[in-house]
Every structure is written in C-alpha cells, then in structure tokens.
Amino acid sequence: MKRSRGIFSGAAAVVLVFLCLAPFAFVLLRSFLTGHGVDLRSYYDVFLGSPQYLFRFWKSLGMCGCIAAGQLAVSVLAGWGFAKYRFKGRDTLFFLLMLLMVLPVQVTLVPDYILLHDLGLLDTYAALILPSIFLPLGAFILTQSFQAVPDAIVDSAMLDGCGIFRMLMWVVLPMSKSGLVCTVLLSFLDGWNMVEQPIAYLKDFDQYPLSVALAYRPPADATIQLVCCILVVLPALSLFTFFNRELVEGIVLAEVK
C-alpha cells in the first residue's frame, strides 16, 4: 500500500512538472524555428542587432530595482513599528494593512490615476514607481520577521549605545535575511510583471516596460516576440534559482506568524 502511494505520488509529481515546464519548453524550441527551419537570426536581432529590445529591458530592470529598493526601505520602517512598538490603534492599522493586501490592483487604478494626475506625475516612470513602493505586502512580511527577533537582543543593543537605525542595520536586519530577500523578490517581480499600470498611466509607447511592449509586437514578428519572452523570464528565473531557500523561508515565516 505504501509502495503504491509512493508510485502514485511520483507519477503525479512527474505530470505536474511536465505541465509546468511544457510552456517554457515550447517557447524555447519555437524561438529557434522560422519558416526556413532553425535560425538564430531572431536572437541576434534581440541581443545584438537592434538596441531597442535590450534598452527597454534595462529600463524595465532599473525601474523594478527602484521599486524593490523603495519598498524595502518603507517596509523595514513600517514592519519594525508594527512589530516592536505598542501604540494606540496599532492592531486596527495592521488589520487595514492586511485588508489592502487582498484588494486587486484594478480597484486602486482610478484613485491612483487621480492622485498622480494632481501631482503631475502621469506619463513618467514615477507614476509606476511611487505607488508600487507603498504596497503593503513587504510591511506585512517584515512585521512577521521582526516579531521573531527576541526583545532581549534589541534591549541589549540599545543598552550598548546603538541608535535605532544602527541597531536595525547591524543587529535586526542580519537576523531577518529571509524576510528581506522575500520582500525584495516579491516587490521586484510584482513590478516586473505589471501590465495595467503602464497602460493606464503612460501614453508614450517608448516608455512602456518590456512586459507591456511585448503585446504590441505585430504577428509577423512572432519569433522575435518569443525571444523577448525568454528575455523577460531570465531575471525572474535567476532570482528564484539563487534565492529560492530565502524566499520559501520568508513566506513560511509569514504564514506561521
């Protein structure tokens, strides 16, 4: 009976892996094929022949890097406040923070559009970066991570003369590596995959990130579009490969707490 369960579980795992990898395998194989057989010309056009693809790629990468860095800074301060400070209305504010997490991005598009319009930030990358910096997920994750830091360690650091920022930098953050990596990865990927915000806040096609610009390729450039899909996948695949353990630990810690 136990052996039958093992065989069934193994077969189910193989099927699941195949279903997950099949779309990527199709894109990879199809990107080498044209109407004239196997051809690497599309890879040459994307990576070497035309600067427009890599230029848009690096702009998108820089934008997502700004989002990840900004959200990390805000989330560290907010998470520390929720985790270690006792103030009136803290639980209510944290409940509202969790409530904001379940709202789909479409709900906030109109309010964000009005606010960005009043600030004169439409048609700029700031319209994509600033709202993403203040998303609540990072603060929620780091609140759970900081709650796992013993108060005795924090008190000892303060007694040794550490200020709040020095104590955060040299004591708390190294102990919360998984939460920090999880916050950076999820905020980066959220910005990397954004679609609705660029369409709503930007009018100039040249400003569109790579995730949106791909949809505007003509059908005749299907092979180039598939190569660009591979280009889009590379950052996410690299991050998940190198930081898989920290990402899983950060998510598990947030769930346990």
Degrees to nearest 5, angle at CA 180 with 175 and 184: 165
Q: What pLDDT is attached to residue 63?
A: 93
Cβ–Cβ under 8 Å, residues 32 and 38 = yes
For CA atoms 202, 205, 209, 211, give the dihedral sign: positive
Q: What pLDDT is attached to residue 218?
A: 64
Q: What pLDDT is attached to residue 76?
A: 94
Other Cβ atoms within 10 Å of 252 Cβ, number: 13
Other Cβ atoms within 10 Å of 156 Cβ, number: 13
Q: What's the topology of domain 42-256?
A: MetI-like fold (1.10.3720)
Q: Name the nearest CA neighbour of 30 among 226, 232, 217.
A: 226
The enclosing H or E element of 114 equals helix 105-119
Q: What pLDDT is attached to residue 160?
A: 80
Residue ranges of domains in the chain: 1-30, 42-256
Q: What pLDDT is attached to residue 70?
A: 95
Question: Can you read off the two tokens belonging to residue 167?
Answer: 């104590």
Q: What pLDDT is attached to residue 71?
A: 95
Q: What pLDDT is attached to residue 217?
A: 67
Find all residues with CB under 8 Å of 54, minimum gap 6, and list them.
46, 47
The strand pairing partners of 37, in sequence order, are 34
The predicted model scores a pTM of 0.85
Q: What pLDDT is attached to residue 2?
A: 61
State which residues of the chain have pLDDT below 70.
1-4, 6, 35, 217-220, 251, 253-257
